[in-house]
Amino acid sequence: SQFNRYKLHPRMMHILVPLFLSCGMSCIVSFVSTLLSVGWSGFAFGEWLGAWMISWLVAFPSVLILLPIMRRLALMLVRKPE
């Protein structure tokens, strides 16, 4: 396809997956947490957006550090393929 030249090298997957995962998870968690704290009537998009960005700044490096550890832990609980 004509857009292949704009795609990143496959070795970037180890950064992109945690980037997208941390972005999505921190968005959902901060949104739910904000709604539980202030409710719909007290919800302010700008304040939530700021809280989400701070959450993401914590979440992204956390995923980068924890993902290999959790992968090893999961491998301890799963049989090797035959």
| pLDDT tens-digit map of 1-20 | 678 888 999 999 999 999 99
- Read off the pTM: 0.80
pLDDT at 63: 96
Q: What's the pLDDT score for residue 53?
A: 96
Summarised one tens digit per residue, pLDDT across range 33-49 is 999 999 999 999 999 99
User: Mean pLDDT across the chain, nearest whole number?
Assistant: 93
Q: 3-state secondary structure string, the chain?
A: CCCHHHCCCHHHHHHHHHHHHHHHHHHHHHHHHHHHHHCCCCCCHHHHHHHHHHHHHHHHHHHHHHHHHHHHHHHHCCCCCC
Tens digits of residue pLDDT in 23-79? 999 999 999 999 999 999 999 999 999 999 999 999 999 999 999 999 999 999 999
